[in-house]
Chain A
Amino acid sequence: MIRENFDNDIKSLSSDVLRMMDMTSNILVEAIRCLQEQDLDGARNVFRLDDEIDSLMDYVEEKCIELIALQQPAAKDLRILFSLIKMVTDLERMGDYCVNIAREVIAIGKEPLMKELRDIPKMRDIILVMIENTKKSFEEENPYLAMKVGEEDEIIDEIYKDIYNEVLLKIHENRDNITQGAKLLFIGRYLERIADHLTNVCEKIVYISKGERVEIN
Chain B
Amino acid sequence: MSKISVKDLNLYYGDFQALKNINLNIEEKKVTALIGPSGCGKSTFLRTLNRMNDLIDGVKTEGYLHLEDQDIYRSDVDVVALRRRVGMVFQKPNPFPKSIYENVVYGPRRYGIKEKKQLDEIVERSLKEAALWDEAKDRLHKSALGLSGGQQQRLCIARALAMRPEVILMDEPTSALDPIATSKIEDLIETLKENYTIVIVTHSMQQAARISDKTAFFLMGEMIEFDDTSKIFTAPRDQRTEDYVTGRFG
Contact = CB atoms under 8 A, between A and B. Distances in A.
Interface of A: 1-3, 6, 72-79, 210-212
Contact of B248 (A2, A211, A212): A2
Given A2-B247, A2-B248, A2-B250, A75 B206 contact: no
Most chain A beta-carbon neighbours within 10 Å: one of B233, B234, B246 = B246
A74 B209 contact: yes
A211 B205 CA distance: 20
A78 B233 contact: yes
Closest 3 CB pairs of A and B: A211-B235, A74-B245, A74-B233
B234 A211 contact: yes
Contacts of B232: 75
Contacts, number: 39
B149 interface: no
A77 B246 contact: yes
Interface residues of B, number: 16
Contact of B234 (A1, A2, A6, A78): A78
Given A72-B206, A74-B205, A79 B247 contact: no
Contacts of B27: none
Contacts of A74: 205, 209, 233-234, 245-247
B16 interface: no
Nearest to B208: A74
B236 interface: yes
B129 interface: no
Given A2-B248, A75-B245, 11 more contacts: A3-B248, A74-B233, A74-B234, A74-B245, A74-B247, A75-B236, A75-B241, A76-B242, A76-B246, A78-B233, A79-B234
